[in-house]
Copies of this chain bind each other. A is one copy, B any other.
């Protein structure tokens, strides 16, 4: 019998600041059964509905986890950054599609290994639970963004969100491994609306945009105001 049961889903959670497994990491025991793989831009790592044979940890690059509807509408549930674990399916099938944002290196291990190890290792179980919880908590915040924030608020929140995932925001420009369309699909907006919001923020001197994959947050407090709907 397996610890990992019932419903399908995928997730991604930062387990440590270092992309690779280290001694002391609750997932370290998986290192022995892991192999690394490369994917390039827009390549599919797994599809929603695929049999979930593996779980993954992102070492380099960025990944989007999304749902794609029959008519092509796409909703990105989450961006995976280096160090995050994803494709953490607990059912037979992945509940999200994973695609590479650019060049990507992942570590991958058979799902069954986790189930087996978790039986023996309480620390691993705890870490799994903790990852699920962080996942869920993030999804709840995401719901608020999509349901109750304006376009500009969402874009500001998004920038702050990415900034907070990077280890303790310093002053230098934030790396955005995803394109504008990806941001739009994460925020439930169109690419044009995302652009306009970014342009607005730039005009108001809250951010700088040295190039399309970098944003410098020049006024965190003001950005937070915008994100919270402060006029």
Contact = CB atoms under 8 A, between A and B. Distances in A.
A33 interface: no
B96 A140 contact: yes
B144 A143 contact: no
Interface stretch (A3-11, A160-168, A192-200): A3-11
Contacts of A137: 7-9, 95
Interface string A67-85: 1011101110100000000
Complex copy number for this chain: 2
Nearest to A132: B132
A7 B133 contact: yes
A73 B136 contact: no
A91 interface: yes
Contacts of A69: 144, 148, 228-229
Interface in A101-151: 119, 122, 125-130, 132-137, 139-144, 146-148
A8 to B, nearest CB: 7
26 contacts: A3-B125, A5-B126, A6-B129, A6-B130, A6-B134, A7-B133, A7-B134, A9-B136, A67-B141, A69-B228, A73-B229, A75-B143, A90-B130, A95-B137, A95-B140, A125-B125, A132-B132, A132-B133, A136-B136, A139-B140, A139-B142, A139-B143, A143-B146, A146-B146, A147-B188, A148-B188
